[in-house]
Amino acid sequence: MTQARKVAVIVGSLRRDSTNRKIAQALSALAPAGLELEIVEIADLPLYNEDLEGGDAPAAWTRFREQVRAADAVLFVTPEYTARFPAASRTRSTSARGLTGPRCGAASRPRS
């Protein structure tokens, strides 16, 4: 028996009744056996501030990073505004900045 694959789903709209959230929920309900989609909440994430990295990182960042790190894949379900991601999505992707290593598919990068 194969292990279920986990997908972290990040909804780029903060509205409770957004179309994007409804799509993410529908995808989760329609996922085949062996595929688990979990919505990772972003509304409580503070704006990214590199000075807070390390021991002083907000608890919401830690929770967000742990959920993303535990996933086998990440799916963004997000609106588009003038051919760009909305601010909520951009800020949250920056909050994931500390994610590196074999489960993240990203190498450490030098700080500027």
Asked if 69 contacts 35 with a C-beta cutoff of 8 angstroms, the reply is: no
Domain coordinates in residue numbering, the chain? 18-31+39-66+92-98
Amino acid 111: pLDDT: 45
Sequence-ordered list of residues with C-beta below 8 angstroms from that of 71, at least 6 positions apart, any chain: 6, 7, 8, 38
Instruction: Give 10-residue mean pLDDT values along the chain (112 residues).
Output: 88 89 96 95 85 83 91 90 65 58 47 44
Amino acid 110: pLDDT: 44
Q: In 10 A of CB 1, how many CB atoms?
A: 4
Query: DSSP label at 35?
Result: E
Amino acid 33: pLDDT: 94
Interstrand relation of 73-77 and 35-39 (parallel, antiparallel or unpaired): unpaired
Asked if 75 contacts 67 with a C-beta cutoff of 8 angstroms, the reply is: no
